[in-house]
Every structure is written in structure tokens, then in C-alpha cells.
Structure 1
Amino acid sequence: MNNQNYVYLKVEQNGWVMTLTLLREAKLNAMNSAMMAELTDCFRRIHDRSDVRVVILTGSGKAFMAGADIEEYSGFDLGAFFSFQNKGREMYRAIEECPKPVIAAVNGYALGGGFEIVLACDMVVASEKAKFGLPEVNLGLVPGGGGVQKALRAVGPYAAKEMLMTGRFLTAQEGLDLRIINQVTSPDQLLEVATALAQTIAEKAPLAVQGLKKLVNEGRDASLETAQAYDRAYLANLFYSTDAQEGIAAFVEKRPPVFVGK
């Protein structure tokens, strides 16, 4: 996929891994309506791409994304503001519903809507210089892109309330301690580490990987019994897939499997 004439998004592909880079460096990649539309469009296009197995999302310059563009919505009336929020919700949903794993490679500030994008991703690799936060309280607002409920589910009510009510920024190490970050690395190795993780996942059976994303996301808020029943049903559906039969045969024959996503 080329850049589809995107202004705020660079699209690159290396094998099974697609890397998306936010391109609004002068504004610390602050999210405006056009950027939201481009991200929504891009993730919807990725949805059915059989040649993409893992996506990396990162930012250019000193920030991953420093939140929504406050200058854009500062003059909105209530209707326009809700329209802006709805566009954001479409973008987050496009990321969440993308069947391919999405890895956030956080190089700097991930604040407000930027942190909400991180929370919409499946895994997070962060630079030692990264900062995370939901500082909407400083504007007299609350997060509107799912940040409240996702933070609650990610870190628990006490840590979430402290983070939300103070608006303070978390360091990468704090994010690691709270288990909202998978790995912390030096700034110059960020994309290398994220790409290595992406390539490891891309080598696995695509249908199983996509199924695991779905099972974890949907099972999180279900009862244990319901979630386990869903797991078993999904396993049964996968058993006669080409990839499952290949994986089983390769194990018996003591050779590396070759997965084709069928």
C-alpha cells in the first residue's frame, strides 16, 4: 500500500510488517481532524490485507502524539465538538478492530488522545524518554477517546484515579511497572526492538494470532465461563485450517512450519 496521498501519515512495508509514522512534527504530532481521517482510512484498508500481519505505529520527531489539537477545537460549539470526538472514536475503533496486532512504538510524548491511541494498540514498546498521560483535567475536561475506562482496566481503579485526577505524566519505567508497556529501550533502538517483536509475531500462524487478539479483547469483559467457551469454539474452528494442519505436521516432522494464513 502506498501513502494514499496521506499528508500526516507515512506508510512503509517490510515483509509482513507495516510501519505507520505520524507526520506532524512541528505540532508534536497533535491530532487534528485530517490526521484522524487518515488513520481511520489506513487501518480500514489494512483490515483485509493478507500481505500485512503486524502493524507498528510511531511518531516523528520528539513525540508519539501530544494529544488532540486544542487550537482546532477551541472555537467549536457543542455540536462541532461532539463531531470532532466522534471522528476520534471512529479512529480508535478502526485501530481496535484491526485484526492484525498493532504495536505502539512510543518515542516521546503520548498524551491525551495520543495515550488513548496507545491504549487502543495491542502492545507497547517505549523509549526511555517517553512520557504518558491523560492530562485533560488540566483543561477542565475528561478523556473522551476511551482513556478513562481503558486506564481503569489496564492499571486498576486506584492507579487510574491518581493518574486521571492529577493529570501527571508517567515515565516509561512507571508504565512498565504498571504493565501498560511491554518493553522499554533506548531511543536509538526503539524501532529496531519494535520491529523485532513485530517480526516474531508475523512468523506465527496469522489466523491463530488474529484469533488470540480477538479472544483476549472480547474475553476481558466476559465471565470466565463464557470466555473459556469462546476459546474452545475458536480452537475447534481453527483445527482444520491449513495453517493448523501445517503446524501439527511440522511439529511431528521436526521442521519449521510454513504458514499461509488459511
Structure 2
Amino acid sequence: MNDITFDYTYLQVEQTGGVLTLTLRRKAKLNAMNAAMMAELTDIFRRIHERPDVRSVVLTGAGKAFMAGADIEEYRSFDLGAFFAFQNKGRDMYRAIEECAKPVVAAVNGYALGGGFELALACDLIVASERAKFGLPEVKLGLVPGGGGVQKALRILGPYAAKDMLMTGRFLTAQEGRELRFVNAVVPPEQLAEAAATLASSLAEQAPLAVQGLKKLVNEGRDASLETAQAYDRAYLANLFYSADAQEGITAFAEKRPPLFIGK
């Protein structure tokens, strides 16, 4: 991965086996999101989309924050056109993560606020430190979330819990996130990296085409009717049945041996 490891200012990129770890590194600003960071994240997720050597991704932050939202100092002087351009770059970034073929684990080490919470929600699974805090506090600035946070909070939390968080701007603890079912696991801070890596490694061991399909089916099926979503599931299953990985998985099961998936 040396061709992308050293290209970025705000991302540290490391690969162990099939797991790629991305660390946001803007500690002095609590990893606040500026346009350059958004461009880097968009770029790397688009570039790894087709890379067979990457099977899963861990996204985390350096220091005491995952990402503490957008860099207000950068956009406070924007005119309306520049502000909308900044928001569009953010949506491109979230879309690149959601559409990436690789499963993405957010390892939330601290504050995940505003755009940082939306970044975590763009990932597929969230492992959180006991110190993590989640929130969409844009109301305190006289704004509303613009990166999908409102509608995702509504769908994940339900209307009453979503309005409570959005309208008060209050932060949720990692344990509250677990109880509200958007956090998959809560661990002590010193165990976060290992827990996220273990989860990402387990994802990397699965059949890549099946994992990619499941990500797509869940992301796209949640807003479709049940009948439409189930028809999509069946069509995807039929296509996978003829893949080399499916035939290997079936054969390995019959032969009582571990499968060797190649992503084809």
C-alpha cells in the first residue's frame, strides 16, 4: 500500500494483512473536518474500492477525538455558494464510504460530533471506547446537520429519541449508543484498537463478494418496501451462486475444511 500510504496530510494509512487502518490525524483541532481531509477520505475510499488486497477497513482518530465535527473556522467566512460546495464535498465523502465494497469499522476513541457522528454512521459497524461521546449539536450553532445525520438518526433511533438528541444538542455516551443499537460494542479505551482490529479481521476472512453484497443489500434495502427488498436479495443470491467463492464455500463445507475465498 505504499502508493497511498504517504500521499495524505490528514490520514495515516497502515495495512496488516487484509485490514487497512485509517487514522485521522489533526489532533490540535480534535480531528475537525476541513475540505482537505474530506477530499483525502473520499479519495482513499474510492481507490480501495477495487483493491483485492484490502478486505476490510478500520477508521479511527488520533488523540482524544474521533472527529469533533466540521472545522467552523474554515467555513465561518464562506458565502452561501462556498458553504454549499463544502457540504457537497462532505456528502461525496460519506457516499464514498457507504458505496465502498469493503466493510468499514469505526473505532470511536472519543468525541464523534456533528460531521464526526455522521462519519461514524457512514461506516458499517461501530466499536466505541467507554470515553466516546456522540452527538449532533448543530442546533447550538443555529444550524441543522447536513451530512445525513437527521434522517439517519430518525431511522436508527426513532422519532422521539432522534428529536431529543437533535433538538437539545446533547451528547450520548458510548453505553447509550449501545442501548440505542447504533454502537456494536463498548470497550475500555486501552482495548479499542485491538477490538476494532479483531472485528475487522473477522470481516476480512469472509467471502468478499458476499460481504459486499450484504453491505449493499442492507444500505439500499432499508428504504425500500419489504417486497422490493426481498426480490433484490433473491436476485443477488442467484448471481452469487455462480461465483467461484460460493462454489468454494459450498465445497469446503461439504469437505469439512476452511474455505479459501479469493473474491471472485
> Does the pair score TM above 0.5?
yes
Q: Secondary structure at the match of 1:222?
A: coil
Aligned to 1:56: 58
Q: Secondary structure at the match of 1:20?
A: strand
Number of equivalences: 262
TM-score of the superposed pair, with normalisation by structure 2: 0.98
Aligned to 2:33: 31
Cα distance between partner residues in 1 of 2:82 and 2:246: 49
Cα distance between partner residues in 2 of 1:249 and 1:146: 42
One of 144, 147, 151 as aligned partner of 1:142: 144
Structure 2 residue 195 is the aligned partner of structure 1 residue 189: no
Amino acid at match of 1:107: N
TM-superposed CA distance for 1:240, in Å, is 1.3
Q: Secondary structure at the match of 1:30?
A: coil
Aligned to 2:252: 250
TM-superposed CA distance for 1:99, in Å, is 1.2
Aligned to 2:155: 153
TM-superposed CA distance for 1:5, in Å, is 1.9
Q: Secondary structure at the match of 1:174?
A: helix
Aligned to 1:198: 200
TM-superposed CA distance for 1:4, in Å, is 4.3
Cα distance between partner residues in 2 of 1:33 and 1:203: 34
Aligned to 2:117: 115
Cα distance between partner residues in 2 of 1:243 and 1:233: 17
Unaligned runs of 5+ in 1: none
TM-score of the superposed pair, with normalisation by structure 1: 0.99
Cα distance between partner residues in 1 of 2:242 and 2:77: 57
* Match runs of 1:1-262 below 5 Å: 1-2=1-2, 3-262=5-264
Q: Deviations over 1:129-182 (max 9, x none)?
A: 000000000000000000000111111111000000000000000000000100
Unaligned runs of 5+ in 2: none
**Cα-Cα RMSD:** 0.7
Aligned-pair identity (%): 80
Q: Structure 1 runs of 4+ off > 3 angstroms?
A: none
